[in-house]
Chains A and B, each alone.
Chain A
Amino acid sequence: MKNVVVVGNGMVGYKFCEKFMERNLREEYKLIVFGEEMRPAYDRIHLSTYFDGKTADDLVLADSDWYTDNGIDLRCGVMVSSVDQDKKTIITHQGEEFAYDYLILATGSAAFVPPIQGVNKQGVFVYRTIEDLESIESYAARLKKLGRSQAVVLGGGLLGLEAAKALKDLDFEVHVIEMASRLMCRQLDDEGALLLKDQIEELGIEVHLNKMTAEISGENEISKLFFKDGSHLAADILLISAGIRPRDEIAQNCNIETGPRGGIVVNRQMQTSDPSIYAIGEVALYNDMIYGLAAPGYLMAEVALQHITGEAAEMVDQVDMSTKLKLMGVDVASFGDMFGEYQNHRKITYLNRHEGVYKRLNVSSDGTRLLGGMLVGDASEYNMLHQYVANSLPLPENPEVLILPASGDSMEGPSVSDLPDTAVICACENVSKGAIVSEIMERGASSFGEVCNCTKASTGCGGCKPMVKDLVDETLTKMGVVVKNNICEHFPYERHELHDLIKVKGYKDFDEILDGEGHGDGCEICKPALASLFATIYNETANRQEVIQDTNDRFLANIQRNGSYSVVPRVPGGEITPEKLIVIGEVARKYNLYTKITGGQRIDLFGARLEDLPPIWEELIAAGFESGHAYGKSLRTVKSCVGSTWCRYGMDESVSFAIEMENRYKGIRSPHKLKGGVSGCIRECAEARCKDFGVIATESGWNLYVCGNGGANPRHAVLLAEGIDNKTCIQYLDRFLMFYLKTAQPLQRTAAWLEKLEGGIEYLKQVVIDDCLGICQELEDQLQYMVSTYQCEWKQAVETPSIRKRFSHFVNSGEGDEHMEFVKMRDQKMPRPWIK
């Protein structure tokens, strides 16, 4: 068993652990890791998201359990202070000594603070660790209270600009001070930097170039900056981002070679001048350079680990320093040899000041290869151009098409399918196209998320996301995978498949089926869809699985513009006694509700407060009313005309039949709402052919029509059967409704469902009338089960204290929502208009 000791648990030190774990080396090597910070390694790249609400825990790359589970001995909060090269031990700041066979220095770097007079005053910060951000945040909050909001960032590089944006988002007035004559001078040329400056200033951040800071003044806290040119600027908070300094203290204090400007010198195997000691990440000086990006550090971790375990490994000659700035709203990227410093090149540029776009390509002098370049204002081609460089892809004859704005006839750049398998798609994690493709083809990954999980592609800076997505889609399509109409990201199934799964496997609630067949925690799409399926199968009311119901079902009422609710008692067929009309009137008066006759032949009472719903329903139920399910995806009304009872043309008793149907199908929850109609003759006063199901009386019996609707996309219902009696009518309707309930998509009304049904109405007739599938008995039984187990869910609610509790606006107070306001309208009330 050999000891491998890692000093530094930052991004690169962690990557070393991860690679160690993947190789299953714990039998042969013992890995001990020392990290000076108090928490395990975190995602420094996305440090700024801390200001968007990400917590330190969110940023942690792996929690301490991960290290323990993988047999890695992680010691946080321990600094290694020296190395004894002869004894091969390290000594911690607490004086403890540990032996190593291999020592990995992954100590990273620290922010460089220039020796300006006054840098030690309060209000001066750097931007490197979570602790830095915590102190910035609390200092900023204090300033805010005092009404002070002037922030200055020293340094106009990649990091400085990111920090400036973060301060801007904290509502500071921000100035960026840059010593050089342009922003991001390591990535952009004059032209690009000029354009970037415009864009940064458009964000409301002021940029000062060619400015050297002479002194930071203020008593204890800073208040002003003086510059060498004699000018000055008020400053309540100062963020220094003037470059990095490798943390090579350990090497300086022993016999390990360091560079004249810092950094630990390493060879192509990442070994320092002491062959059993390696340096990786931002502390390593390779080819006389420090690489301030994560990807090169990850590569170094790989090389060092391979060398230790005896595999042949070498660091690449030319380290890729391509980057894309992750400022919201400003696109900047540079790739390959961005300035064309290393080879003869010809420059192609595109400049559009008006739109704020600058693009530059450095093309090899023979015009066949792309060497590098930069993009400002529009970096959408970054991934592709980067691929040209990284894989030395042959350029098209007229390479300018790669950066010219797309016009109708312009040539298309290469797509992911043109890339060689070796093309590195995700630079942070070094994932090649081949690796992604084989994850799909050989190991069966079937979605973007799965591919990222397994290959780690797109889990670093995220810049390659669009390309990985394209590649996943393209590969899946090539394999002939039909993209299914899955209900949402949580279930790889369509609605009817879920219906069958519940029936076959007997799932009883949402969590059960989510654990069994889906993943994640559900959403506003799959929850109501499953609620509807559970209702179809077990005929449960919206009260059983309260929290997966759409808001209207959860509160058994329709939410209105201002958060109040409407109350719609069922009035089957539109027939109502004077006594019941009086009760509705009294309840409306007592609770100050707006009343209106609806288009569905009943009365709607609007503007009820949440906490008034149970008492209102209690009174309505006492008078013999039931829920009208006006809030649900369920049967609304069966509209009727007076029919033969009163009408001189009537062929049959339409009111009686409408009441019978409404009472039979009430409470049935379905993919979308259901409406019915019954007309006493072909004059069709009940508009039955505008309904999901409608019957019209004729001399020889009822004509039954299905799959119509009014609404957004009016459809006339189509004839299913002619001249049938009441009993047959109900029989066909039972079968039809149940077949629809089982097979429709979520929120698909009957007309849309029929349109998608292969074979259309003729097929539907065969199923419902001729029983071609042999399922009619089953359909009828299922529907009958629903009819016999019907319960009024409002009755359930008012009689069950635990359900009643749901109807209070506050958990910790009996008050109502003081924010809800009504204004007068005619003789009643309405919600106050929405504020624009």
Chain B
Amino acid sequence: MYALLEKYQTVQKAHVRKWHKVGRVEDFPVNAGACVKINDQQIAVFHFARKGKWYATQNLCPHKFEMVLSRGMIGDQQGLAKLACPLHKKTFSLESGENLNGDLPPIATFPVKVSEGFVYIGMGH
């Protein structure tokens, strides 16, 4: 199962090799998440309109290894954008991926870019 976790590694903006077009802005719910497929990876995309920001993370919850994070609820903790897993409400920072209410490994995060009405996720390949 760790192989599955290993598959998802944070990509810093500076290291994006390829921006993947994943849909139109209106394909994504506002202030919530949806999932996209890039190659063989499942990426959860969040349009955090209240902060005027987009976030992307792995869809895999490191707690029980299910592909569910995109269906979680977003919000903030002391201003820090966070995500709560729908299964057991483990929460993660959308900025750093860090697990905020436990000691799970962090989730991978990916840069998001919006241009001319389309949403792009930055990946290493």
Q: Identify the A interface with B (CB < 8 A).
A: 52-55, 58, 134, 137-138, 141, 449, 489-490, 511, 520-524, 526-528, 546-548, 550-552, 554-555, 559, 561-563, 806, 809-813, 815, 817, 819-820, 834-835
CA distance in complex: A550, B95 (Å) = 22
Q: Which residue of A lies closest to B84 (CB)?
A: A524
Q: How far is the CB of B7 from chain A (nearest CB, A)?
A: 11
Interface centre among A58, A489, A524, A559 (most CB of B within 10 A): A524
**CB pair B66 A562 closer than 8 Å:** yes
Question: Chain A contacts of B67 at CB under 8 A?
Answer: 563, 809, 817, 819-820
Consensus secondary structure, chain A interface? loop
Question: Chain A contacts of B96 at CB under 8 A?
Answer: 52-54
Q: Identify the B interface with A (CB < 8 A).
A: 1, 10, 12-15, 22-23, 27-32, 34-37, 42, 45, 48, 50-51, 60, 64-68, 71-79, 81-82, 84, 86-87, 89, 91, 93, 95-98, 106, 109
Question: Chain B contacts of A546 at CB under 8 A?
Answer: 29, 32
**CB pair A811 B75 closer than 8 Å:** no
Q: Which residue of A lies closest to B74 (CB)?
A: A521
CA distance in complex: A810, B71 (Å) = 11
**CB pair A520 B79 closer than 8 Å:** yes
Contact with A523, one of B14, B28, B82, B97 (Cβ below 8 angstroms) = B82
Question: Chain A contacts of B22 at CB under 8 A?
Answer: 811-812
CA distance in complex: A523, B101 (Å) = 14
CA distance in complex: A813, B37 (Å) = 7
Q: Which residue of A lies closest to B32 (CB)?
A: A547
Q: Which residue of A lies closest to B4 (CB)?
A: A819
Question: Chain A contacts of B50 at CB under 8 A?
Answer: 511, 521-522
Q: Which residue of A lies closest to B119 (CB)?
A: A811
Contact with B71, one of A490, A555, A561, A562 (Cβ below 8 angstroms) = A555
Known: A522-B76, A819-B66. A811 touches B81 (CB 8 A): no
Question: Chain A contacts of B91 at CB under 8 A?
Answer: 524
Besides A520-B75, A561-B87, 14 new A-B residue pairs in contact (Cβ under 8 A), listed by A number: A53-B98, A54-B95, A134-B14, A490-B75, A521-B81, A524-B91, A547-B31, A547-B73, A554-B32, A809-B67, A810-B42, A811-B34, A813-B37, A834-B65
CA distance in complex: A809, B117 (Å) = 22
**CB pair A489 B66 closer than 8 Å:** no
Contact with B23, one of A489, A812, A815 (Cβ below 8 angstroms) = A812
**CB pair A559 B87 closer than 8 Å:** yes
**CB pair A810 B109 closer than 8 Å:** no
Question: Chain A contacts of B76 at CB under 8 A?
Answer: 490, 520-523
**CB pair A559 B71 closer than 8 Å:** yes
Question: Chain B contacts of A817 at CB under 8 A?
Answer: 42, 67
Interface centre among B13, B31, B95 (most CB of A within 10 A): B31
**CB pair B10 A819 closer than 8 Å:** no
Question: Chain B contacts of A54 at CB under 8 A?
Answer: 95-96
CA distance in complex: A776, B74 (Å) = 39
**CB pair A138 B15 closer than 8 Å:** yes
Q: 30 A-B pairs, CB-CB below 8 angstroms?
A: A52-B96, A53-B10, A53-B93, A53-B98, A134-B14, A137-B12, A138-B15, A141-B15, A490-B75, A521-B76, A522-B75, A523-B73, A523-B84, A524-B72, A524-B84, A527-B73, A547-B32, A548-B73, A551-B71, A555-B71, A559-B86, A563-B67, A563-B68, A810-B35, A812-B37, A813-B36, A819-B42, A819-B60, A820-B67, A834-B65
Interface centre among B35, B75, B76, B91 (most CB of A within 10 A): B75
Contact with A547, one of B1, B30, B89 (Cβ below 8 angstroms) = B30
Contact with B45, one of A511, A563, A811 (Cβ below 8 angstroms) = A811
Contact with A489, one of B35, B72, B78, B106 (Cβ below 8 angstroms) = B78
Compute the total of residue contacts between A and B using a CB distance below 8 Å.
121
**CB pair A53 B36 closer than 8 Å:** no
**CB pair A810 B15 closer than 8 Å:** no
Question: Chain B contacts of A489 at CB under 8 A?
Answer: 77-78
Question: Chain B contacts of A520 at CB under 8 A?
Answer: 75-76, 79
Question: Chain A contacts of B12 at CB under 8 A?
Answer: 137
**CB pair A815 B66 closer than 8 Å:** no
Question: Chain A contacts of B66 at CB under 8 A?
Answer: 561-563, 819
Q: How far is the CB of B51 from chain A (nearest CB, A)?
A: 6
Contact with B65, one of A522, A547, A552, A835 (Cβ below 8 angstroms) = A835
- Nearest 9 pairs between A and B by C-beta? A53-B96, A523-B75, A551-B86, A547-B32, A524-B84, A521-B76, A835-B1, A524-B73, A521-B50
Question: Chain B contacts of A138 at CB under 8 A?
Answer: 14-15
CA distance in complex: A523, B71 (Å) = 14
Question: Chain B contacts of A528 at CB under 8 A?
Answer: 73
Q: Which residue of B lies closest to A562 (CB)?
A: B66
**CB pair B98 A523 closer than 8 Å:** no
CA distance in complex: A551, B48 (Å) = 17
**CB pair A815 B84 closer than 8 Å:** no
Known: A53-B95, A563-B66, A806-B29. A815 touches B37 (CB 8 A): yes
Interface centre among B35, B73, B82 (most CB of A within 10 A): B73
CA distance in complex: A550, B87 (Å) = 11
**CB pair A812 B95 closer than 8 Å:** no
Contact with A53, one of B14, B31, B97 (Cβ below 8 angstroms) = B97
Interface centre among B23, B32, B91 (most CB of A within 10 A): B32
Question: Chain B contacts of A815 at CB under 8 A?
Answer: 37
Q: How far is the CB of A759 from chain B (nearest CB, A)?
A: 35
CA distance in complex: A195, B76 (Å) = 39
**CB pair A521 B51 closer than 8 Å:** yes
CA distance in complex: A490, B75 (Å) = 10
**CB pair A449 B78 closer than 8 Å:** yes
Known: A521-B51, A521-B75, A812-B37. A547 touches B29 (CB 8 A): yes
CA distance in complex: A561, B64 (Å) = 9
Known: A52-B98, A141-B15. A551 touches B37 (CB 8 A): no
CA distance in complex: A527, B74 (Å) = 9
Interface centre among A137, A810, A834 (most CB of B within 10 A): A810
Question: Chain A contacts of B10 at CB under 8 A?
Answer: 53
Contact with A811, one of B28, B73, B82 (Cβ below 8 angstroms) = B28
Question: Chain B contacts of A555 at CB under 8 A?
Answer: 71
Q: Which residue of A lies closest to B71 (CB)?
A: A551
**CB pair A811 B27 closer than 8 Å:** yes
Interface centre among A449, A520, A812, A819 (most CB of B within 10 A): A812
**CB pair A524 B35 closer than 8 Å:** no
Question: Chain A contacts of B36 at CB under 8 A?
Answer: 810-813
Known: A522-B75, A562-B66, A834-B65. A811 touches B23 (CB 8 A): yes
Question: Chain A contacts of B75 at CB under 8 A?
Answer: 490, 520-524, 526-527
Question: Chain B contacts of A523 at CB under 8 A?
Answer: 73, 75-77, 82, 84
**CB pair A834 B32 closer than 8 Å:** no
Question: Chain A contacts of B77 at CB under 8 A?
Answer: 489, 523
Question: Chain A contacts of B78 at CB under 8 A?
Answer: 449, 489
**CB pair A551 B72 closer than 8 Å:** yes
